[in-house]
Amino acid sequence: VTACSTTSRVPDDDKLFVGLSKIDYTNYDKNDHFVSTREEVEAALATAPNGALFGSSFYRTPFPYRLWIYNAFSESDSPISRWITKSFGKAPVLMSGVNPTLRAKVAQGLLHDRGYFAAAVNYNEQPMRSKKKAKIRYDINVGPLYVVDTLDYINFPADAKTLIDSTRSEALVTSGSPFDVSALDAERTRLSTLFRNNGYYYYQPGYASYLADTLDVAGHARLRLQLADGIPSAATRKWYIGNVQLEMRKQYSDILTNSFRYRHFSMYYPGKRTPMRAAVIMKDVKLRHGQLYSYDDYVASVNNLTSMGVFSMVDIKFTPRDTTA
């Protein structure tokens, strides 16, 4: 064991990565937002060395036996050596593979996305007794956390703006909250769900974008969530449920030869008899003629039909209809 070398397969222009030193954070206020952000940053910087203790980036066992096995057998062409290398060995984790420059950039971008616009992430290689080994130390200057000053919703149709104003208490971005890209995306998604539950079938989250002013008030961001120009006109109007048509097949290739119709509901099926009574189906379908389209009703209808256990597949499609005729 004492004769085993951990660096015998390390190229001359590279080094064996042996773990991270403690990450040094400076210039920050410790709060819940910082704690959650730090966890994400450390996940981005994490790299397990050979012999990592429980997958840790900081601690390793003194006996990296899998690396020793790899070094001892990897250059042999015999079948048993290849099997031993593949089954029990592990290639050396090299500095070139860790790529600390890229990881530092990713961590810095993550900090910016979480509201630490002035954050800077740097690293240095720490000297070891062996010149073929290296540790990495990351130094993170966090800087001040930017918070939301105001959020205005601009250019939305009047009915949509009324919906926004009526649900302000449910907003996920409020004055004083951290400027957090994930929260901004969540608020945009919340509005999309709100609109789609109130008739805006064709609306999508990407139809609105944020504008931020971080210069007017120090440490604060004034935000505008603005409906984009040139989006499809169908996305800015409300849609109502029209006729409901149900197609029931035992096989995908079945030809629908018979039908049943009651007012605005139609059922098409193969054979002479309906596979299931229309009243049973309609009880679980929450989509009704003349009602505003609701995404929640759509999801409930799919779930109800699926949970009946009699359909191998449930698919609901919506087709726009010309209402001017």
The amino acid present at 309, given as its one-letter code, is G
- Give CA separation, 49 vs 53, 60, 62, 97, in Å: 9, 7, 12, 11
In this structure, the number of other CB atoms found within 10 A of the CB of residue 151 comes to 20
Q: Are 93 and 57 in contact (CB under 8 A)?
A: no
Which pLDDT does position 257 carry in this prediction? 81
Phi then psi dihedrals of residue 253, to 5 deg:
-90, 0
pLDDT in tens, 155-213: 999 999 999 999 999 999 999 999 999 999 999 999 999 999 999 999 999 999 999 99
pLDDT of amino acid 325: 37
Name the one residue in this structure whose structure tokens are 């009946």. Answer: 308
Block mean pLDDT (10 aa), the chain, length 325: 68 90 94 95 94 90 88 88 90 92 96 96 90 93 95 94 95 94 96 96 95 89 93 92 82 78 80 75 84 92 81 77 55
Model confidence pLDDT, tens digit, residues 277-298: 777 777 888 888 889 999 999 9
Size of the chain, expressed as the number of residues it contains: 325
Q: Is the dihedral of CA 268, 270, 271, 276 positive or negative?
A: negative
Q: pLDDT (tens digit, 9 = 90+) per residue, 117-132?
A: 999 999 999 888 888 8
pLDDT at 3: 45
Dihedral sign computed on CA atoms, order 292, 203, 212, 39 = positive
Q: Which residues contact 201 (CB under 8 A, 6 or more apart)?
A: 234, 239, 293, 318
Query: Average pLDDT of the chain?
Result: 89
Its pTM surpasses 0.85: no
* Cβ-contact 136, 42 below 8 angstroms: no
Structure letter (DSSP) for residue 54: G
How many angstroms separate the Cα of 224 from the Cα of each of 111, 155, 172, 184, 312? Answer: 22, 10, 14, 11, 46
